[in-house]
Amino acid sequence: MKILFFPILFVIFSTISISASAQLKGFSFGPYVEAAWPKGAFEQQQGNGFGLGVTADINLPGHFSATGSAGFLHFRKSIDSIHAPHTAKSSMTALPLRAGLKYKLPVVYLKIEGGAAKSLKGEASSLIISPGLGARILGLDIQGNYETWIKEGSKSFWGLRIAYHF
């Protein structure tokens, strides 16, 4: 029995280490910066936005990968509200948390993300829906998207995100 114990233990640990390294292969993360241009009624309330955060990708079988990000996004007051103080809206800052799926084509990828955006003013979180298109060359990831935040109406904006993955 003792003779079989060590070979069996070796096989178990070898299998675990192979599985663990296979799961870690294809994982990348890094910082991102983001710009946002409000659309529709949201454009009347808020000016352009900027943000930063951290993003991660995990390769999945086939042409898919799972993606996620956590960040900070700030929209300044709209120009209209600065010139018309009686309609002034304050700036808006939120912490978006997104997760989604990418489908990789030869040069570009398509992605869909969802999540929540927590306002720093203590308001309830908004639901995020964000389809997009991007390209990743080596570690540089450039992504364009149309993002909608839903909570008692919707706030939509075009976004551009530039990330560097390690």
Task: Summarize pLDDT for 88-136 with one digit per residue, the tens.
Answer: 467 899 999 999 999 999 989 999 999 999 999 888 899 999 999 999 9
pLDDT in tens, 111-121: 999 999 999 98
Checking if the pLDDT of 17 tops 90, the result is no
User: 74: how many CB neighbours lie within 10 A of its CB?
Assistant: 16
| Structural domains of the chain sorted by starting position, each given as residue range(s) with its CATH number in brackets | 26-164 (2.40.160.20)
pLDDT at res. 43: 87
Contact 134, 142 (CB under 8 A): yes
- Write out the two tokens for 137: 């060359």
Pairing of strands 126-137, 108-119: antiparallel
